[in-house]
């Protein structure tokens, strides 16, 4: 977890050491430093009466919700492991595809036809319905120059939107920083899961990770609940009254207040959510349902991040990928149906990505090894559905026998930043990339 992240679900307060204000005053304390070193206070809403905390932290009414006007949101869905794009968007009209994959190719008869040349995997009926309705854009042949087949390095490139090494911030973190003063909600970004993705790494923005609004908060062992409550009250009594002194203590009080308010606001705002579509009972369906809960709750959510894995199909690809693509397609279709019924389908964009595609030729284990380019999917009511970019040629390959990319992934990012959010891509990506005409 980065310093700029708050994962309240992982917080435990079990220490027996006394809390001494002098330890805080001995050295400067930044907001990020407090988040990583003073997280005991973050879960106050779980262990203290609300009235006490309000009195300790600030005058005024209790925080019930972080009100903000409805605005556009982005849901980023990472397909971890490197999804095989050729068996996802299938070039069924090209015999070279079948020559390269005699055992694992998807038959032309079973492909869900998009036109006379390509079709979706037969398990993706949900997304085929979105495509037919004009709500799915498929960007073909997405990659970057000098592709890297390492999972970690390629993910780093996609996360940071840079081919340079050791970039400290991610593209979504820079986006949140660049728009920090446009929206004041603490829930401008969220990660559905336990590990914050590198995309959110930032200099100034806090992004929480959670599995569910219901479990978000301070987690503690029941055997130490009384001790934890006493220590938390000691913490508040010792420091909260010092808010007017400035410096580290004021920062401590301010950060604790914001963390507490964000927890209370989340629980209050999401309490009335009712799904208006049936989600599949798998992990991805649950995660996207949580994303819908956050987005529909008017907390000012700008970006939700969801990760699903298993796409590293070195062996027995056909069955494994079929199950994964069906699960992904069904979950995305349910998510879109829910948003449509909630009246938000035009305000939410879902974008998928994977760190790389797979090699053109199948391997000896009826799978595929790490490759290069692949498709990116964008789903929403505010887009112009269809195919974008040339279908990657399975005949004209690069010097390593891999697909040549046609569209830099940062063009997709640039388009989303500019056309969806109205943000100057240069503020996030450092330079402009050609944009795609995917928005209505």
pLDDT in tens, 96-136: 999 999 999 999 999 999 999 999 999 999 999 999 999 99
For β-strands 73-79 and 374-379, DSSP reports them as: unpaired
Tokens of 225: 């609940």
User: Residue 186's pLDDT band (boundaries 50, 70, 90)?
Assistant: confident
User: Residue 369's pLDDT band (boundaries 50, 70, 90)?
Assistant: very high
Out of 189-203, 243-257, 296-310, least confident range: 243-257
Instruction: Tell whether the model's pLDDT for residue 42 goes beyond 60.
Output: no
Domain count, the chain: 2
pLDDT: which is higher, 260 or 425: 425
Residue 383's alpha-carbon distances to 221, 348, 387, in angstroms, are: 47, 10, 12
Q: What is the DSSP letter of 39?
A: G
Residues 261 and 396 in one domain: no
Residues 183 and 223 in one domain: no
Q: Is 46 helix (H, G, I), strand (E, B) or coil?
A: helix
Out of 140-144, 209-213, 247-251, least confident range: 247-251
Output the pLDDT for position 52. 31
Output the pLDDT for position 271. 87
User: Residue 312's pLDDT band (boundaries 50, 70, 90)?
Assistant: very high
Give strand pairing partners of 75: 304, 350
Helices (H) and strands (E) in the chain, counts: 14, 13
Residues 303 and 366 in one domain: yes
For β-strands 119-120 and 189-192, DSSP reports them as: unpaired
Output the pLDDT for position 246. 65
Residues 312 and 354 in one domain: yes
Domain ends where: 252, 269, 286?
269
* Residue 188, domain member (yes or no): yes
Output the pLDDT for position 214. 80
Per the listing, tokens 């209505």 go with 440
Instruction: Tell whether the model's pLDDT for residue 9 goes beyond 90.
Output: no
What does the pLDDT average to over 73-80?
98
With residue 210 as reference, give the H or E element that holds it.
strand 207-210
pLDDT: which is higher, 26 or 378: 378
Residues 345 and 425 in one domain: yes
Half-sphere exposure (CA, 13 Å, Cβ side) for 423? 26
Domain ends where: 230, 248, 269?
269
CATH code of residue 168 = 3.40.720.10
- pTM: predicted TM-score of the whole model, two decimal places: 0.82
Contact 392, 373 (CB under 8 A): yes
Instruction: Tell whether the model's pLDDT for residue 45 goes beyond 50.
Output: no
* Residue 146, domain member (yes or no): yes
Per the listing, tokens 């629980």 go with 267
Backbone angles phi, psi at 112, to 5 degrees: -85, 100
Residues 42 and 137 in one domain: no
Output the pLDDT for position 33. 42
Tokens of 419: 């056309």
Residues 140 and 246 in one domain: no
Rounded CA-CA distance 381/362 in Å is: 37
Instruction: Tell whether the model's pLDDT for residue 56 goes beyond 80.
Output: no
Residue 375's alpha-carbon distances to 141, 191, 210, 349, 357, in angstroms, are: 6, 23, 28, 16, 8
Quickly count: other Cβ atoms within 10 Å of residue 278's Cβ: 12
Tokens of 434: 């050609």
Output the pLDDT for position 29. 40
Output the pLDDT for position 57. 35
pLDDT: which is higher, 401 or 27: 401
Residues 142 and 245 in one domain: no
Identify the burial level of 146 via C-beta atoms within 10 angstroms of its C-beta, where 0-12 means exposed, 13-18 middle and 19 or more buried: exposed
Domain ends where: 247, 269, 291?
269
* Residue 439, domain member (yes or no): no
Rounded CA-CA distance 308/399 in Å is: 31
Average confidence score pLDDT of the chain: 83
What does the pLDDT average to over 156-179?
97
* Residue 136, domain member (yes or no): yes
What does the pLDDT average to over 357-362?
98
User: Residue 323's pLDDT band (boundaries 50, 70, 90)?
Assistant: very high
Sign of CA dihedral 51, 56, 57, 58: positive
* Residue 436, domain member (yes or no): no
Contact 329, 124 (CB under 8 A): yes
User: Residue 27's pLDDT band (boundaries 50, 70, 90)?
Assistant: very low
* Residue 440, domain member (yes or no): no
Instruction: Tell whether the model's pLDDT for residue 358 goes beyond 60.
Output: yes
Task: Give per-residue pLDDT as tens, 400-409.
Answer: 999 999 999 9
Contact 86, 360 (CB under 8 A): yes
Residues 223 and 178 in one domain: no
User: Residue 206's pLDDT band (boundaries 50, 70, 90)?
Assistant: confident
Sign of CA dihedral 208, 212, 217, 219: negative
Residue 220's domain spans which residues?
5-64+214-269
Half-sphere exposure (CA, 13 Å, Cβ side) for 376? 33
* Residue 109, domain member (yes or no): yes
Percentage of residues in the chain having pLDDT higher than 90: 65
Output the pLDDT for position 67. 37
Residues 245 and 389 in one domain: no
Which is nearest to 262 in space by CA: 292, 290, 300, 234? 300
User: Residue 262's pLDDT band (boundaries 50, 70, 90)?
Assistant: confident
Residues 393 and 283 in one domain: yes
Instruction: Tell whether the model's pLDDT for residue 282 goes beyond 70.
Output: yes
Contact 324, 311 (CB under 8 A): yes
Identify the burial level of 93 via C-beta atoms within 10 angstroms of its C-beta, where 0-12 means exposed, 13-18 middle and 19 or more buried: middle
Backbone angles phi, psi at 227, to 5 degrees: -60, -40
Out of 15-24, 186-195, 312-321, 322-331, least confident range: 15-24
* Residue 113, domain member (yes or no): yes
What does the pLDDT average to over 321-333?
99
Residue 7's alpha-carbon distances to 206, 267, 295, in angstroms, are: 10, 15, 19
Residues 199 and 231 in one domain: no
């Amino acid at each position: 977890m980065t310093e700029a992240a708050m994962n309240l679900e992982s917080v435990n307060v079990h220490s027996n050491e006394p809390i001494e204000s002098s330890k805080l005053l001995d050295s400067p304390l930044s907001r990020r430093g407090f988040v990583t070193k003073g997280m005991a206070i973050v879960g106050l809403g779980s262990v203290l009466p609300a009235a006490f905390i309000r009195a300790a932290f600030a005058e005024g009414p209790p925080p019930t919700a972080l009100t903000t006007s409805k605005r556009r949101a982005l849901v980023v869905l990472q397909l971890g492991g490197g999804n095989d794009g050729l068996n996802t968007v299938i070039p069924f009209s090209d015999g070279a595809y079948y020559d390269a994959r005699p055992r694992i190719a998807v038959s032309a008869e079973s492909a869900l036809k998009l036109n006379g040349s390509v079709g979706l995997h037969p398990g993706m009926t949900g997304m085929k319905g979105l495509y037919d309705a004009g709500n799915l854009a498929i960007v073909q042949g997405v990659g970057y120059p000098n592709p890297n087949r390492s999972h970690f390095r390629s993910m780093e490139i996609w996360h940071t939107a840079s081919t340079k090494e050791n970039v400290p911030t991610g593209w979504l973190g820079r986006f949140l920083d660049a728009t920090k003063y446009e929206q004041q909600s603490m829930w401008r970004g969220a990660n559905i899961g336990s590990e914050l993705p590198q995309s959110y790494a930032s200099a100034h923005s806090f992004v929480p990770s959670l599995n569910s609004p219901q479990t978000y908060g301070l987690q503690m062992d029941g055997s130490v609940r009384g001790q934890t409550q006493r220590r938390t009250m000691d913490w508040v009594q010792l420091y909260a009254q010092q808010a007017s002194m400035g410096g580290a203590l004021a920062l401590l009080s301010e950060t604790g207040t914001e963390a507490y308010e964000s927890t209370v606001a989340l629980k209050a705002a999401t309490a009335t959510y009712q799904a208006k579509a049936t989600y599949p009972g798998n992990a991805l369906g649950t995660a996207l349902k949580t994303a819908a809960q956050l987005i529909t709750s008017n907390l000012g959510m700008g970006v939700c991040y969801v990760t699903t894995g298993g796409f590293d199909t070195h062996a027995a690809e056909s069955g494994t990928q079929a199950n994964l693509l069906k699960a992904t397609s069904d979950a995305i279709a349910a998510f879109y149906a829910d948003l449509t019924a909630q009246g938000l389908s035009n305000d939410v964009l879902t974008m998928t990505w994977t760190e790389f595609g797979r090699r053109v030729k199948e391997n000896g284990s009826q799978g595929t090894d790490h490759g290069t380019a692949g498709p990116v999917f964008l789903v929403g009511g505010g887009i112009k559905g269809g195919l974008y970019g040339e279908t990657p040629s399975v005949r004209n390959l690069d010097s390593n026998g891999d697909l040549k990319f046609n569209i830099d992934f940062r063009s997709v990012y640039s388009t989303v930043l500019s056309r969806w959010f109205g943000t100057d891509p240069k503020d996030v990506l450092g330079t402009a990339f050609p944009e795609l005409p995917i928005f209505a």
